[in-house]
């Protein structure tokens, strides 16, 4: 079978400046929905290669694909016993989270090898953070992609995780890195005085794990969060959506709000709300539901994405779908993204010009009266 994601295509996906922080989340979910899980590890390894924020080249993309193939081969041969798919799955969710006082509490042999070969603690933390975020992104595509495709996508990701990122130390560090970035975003709005890292340590790495043993009040709060997210996503179309879903099945509506939106999508300890919206949008693209796509565009914008980001996400979604052989019945709906912005700017400019002209006219009238 011919490879879909080539080095040139991989570099093209990464190059979009506006989607740079979340490009791999959107791309991975689109590939999962296209039923091409074998291509997800290439996206993942490119994200690992660029986790330090450095510029990527075609050579970087080639190296990412080579590293991906090596890791998959080692896993298939079973040479990485401690880093098997099963162990990596356990490592990501049941690590001990022993010490929270530093980014990397202790170092085992794998860490020592990596550090001696030029890796540093921050890079490992960032790469582990990418792993956690990408896994969460694929999980949030579950309501759109369905269980079989989500299982295949996450298994494909797990099979390509380097062994040094499956250790409990790496997972602890990655969890703190993820929490620090989230806290930094929320801290700006809340004007908190503590540093992001201090706040992340107070929360603890275990806070990235969902709690499935909940009290009545926790369940109630979670459902309220789900309903709030549904309202933001649907906005003016909310009543229409509710009547449409209720018309199909009342149980479907309750399950969708309480469990899918509440327990799954409204969980915000790993991904920001705008990133969750991008994951959903990436999963929707290959479904060819043109009549609903505009609503998902609006929902993504209401969750904090700019119109420009959604404009480029649309282009990326179309590109990936073409590569995967997903054909659309007609033109993919446009949600007057940039055009609307320019029109609004033009209107503002015209108003300013009119005001300025009026001022000039008034000044000249005053001068004439004085004469």
Higher pLDDT, 109 or 176: 176
Q: Is the pLDDT of residue 88 over 70?
A: no
User: Per-residue pLDDT averaged across 177-199, rounded?
Assistant: 58
Q: For residue 156, what pLDDT is reported?
A: 93
Residues 208, 175: contact at Cβ < 8 Å? yes
Q: State the pLDDT at residue 100.
A: 28
Rg (CA), the chain: 24
Mean per-residue pLDDT for 361-366? 45
Residue-averaged pLDDT of the chain? 74
Average pLDDT over residues 288-305: 81
Distance CA 25, CA 19 (A): 10
- CA atoms 323, 59, 84, 265: torsion sign: negative
137 vs 303: which has the higher pLDDT: 137
pLDDT of residue 154: 94
Tokens of 207: 């806070």
How far is residue 265's CA from residue 333's CA, in Å, rounded to a whole number? 25
From 244, 81, 46, 243, select the one nearest 166 (Cα to Cα): 81
Pairwise CA distance, residues 302 & 74, whole Å: 44
Confidence class for position 238, pLDDT limits 50, 70, 90: confident
Residues 221 and 262: their CA atoms lie apart, in Å, by 9
Task: Report, as an integer, the average pLDDT of 321-337.
Answer: 74
Kindly state the tokens that stand for 368.
């004439």
Dump pLDDT digits (tens) for 122-168: 888 889 889 999 999 999 999 888 899 999 999 999 999 988 888 88
Q: How far apart are CA 168 and CA 65, in angstroms?
A: 26
Q: In the prediction, which pLDDT does 335 show?
A: 59
Q: What pLDDT is stored for residue 38 in this prediction?
A: 93
CB atoms within 10 A of CB 145: 24
């Amino acid at each position: 079978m011919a490879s879909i994601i080539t080095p040139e295509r991989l570099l093209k996906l990464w190059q979009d400046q506006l989607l740079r922080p979340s490009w791999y989340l959107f791309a991975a979910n689109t590939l999962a929905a296209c039923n091409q899980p074998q291509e997800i590890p290439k996206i993942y390894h490119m994200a690992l290669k660029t986790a330090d924020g450095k510029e990527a080249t075609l050579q970087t993309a080639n190296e990412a694909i080579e590293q991906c193939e090596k890791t998959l081969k080692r896993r298939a041969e079973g040479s990485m016993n401690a880093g098997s798919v099963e162990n990596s799955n356990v490592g990501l969710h049941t690590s001990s989270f022993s010490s929270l006082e530093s980014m990397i509490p202790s170092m085992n042999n794998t860490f020592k090898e990596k550090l001696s070969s030029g890796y540093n603690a921050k890079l490992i933390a960032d790469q582990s953070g990418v792993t956690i975020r990408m896994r969460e992104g694929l999980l949030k595509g579950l309501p759109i992609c369905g269980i079989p495709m989500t299982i295949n996508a996450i298994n494909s990701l797990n099979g390509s995780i380097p062994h040094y990122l499956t250790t409990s130390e790496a997972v602890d560090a990655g969890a703190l890195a993820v929490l620090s970035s989230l806290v930094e975003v929320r801290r700006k709005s809340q004007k908190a005085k503590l540093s992001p890292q201090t706040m992340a340590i107070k929360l603890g790495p275990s806070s990235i794990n969902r709690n499935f043993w909940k009290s009545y009040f926790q369940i109630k709060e979670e459902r309220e969060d789900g309903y709030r997210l549904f309202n933001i996503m649907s906005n003016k179309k909310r009543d229409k959506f509710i009547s449409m879903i209720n018309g199909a099945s009342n149980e479907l509506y309750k399950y969708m709000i309480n469990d899918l939106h509440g327990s799954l999508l409204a969980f915000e300890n790993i991904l920001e709300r705008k990133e969750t919206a991008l994951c959903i949008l990436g999963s929707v693209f290959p479904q060819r539901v043109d009549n609903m796509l505009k609503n998902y565009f609006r929902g993504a914008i209401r969750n904090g994405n700019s119109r420009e980001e959604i404009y480029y996400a649309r282009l990326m979604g179309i590109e990936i779908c073409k590569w995967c052989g997903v054909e659309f019945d007609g033109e993919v709906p446009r949600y007057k993204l940039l055009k609307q912005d320019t029109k609004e700017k033009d209107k503002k400019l015209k108003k300013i010009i009119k005001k300025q002209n009026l001022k000039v006219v008034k000044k000249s009238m005053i001068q004439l009266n004085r004469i």
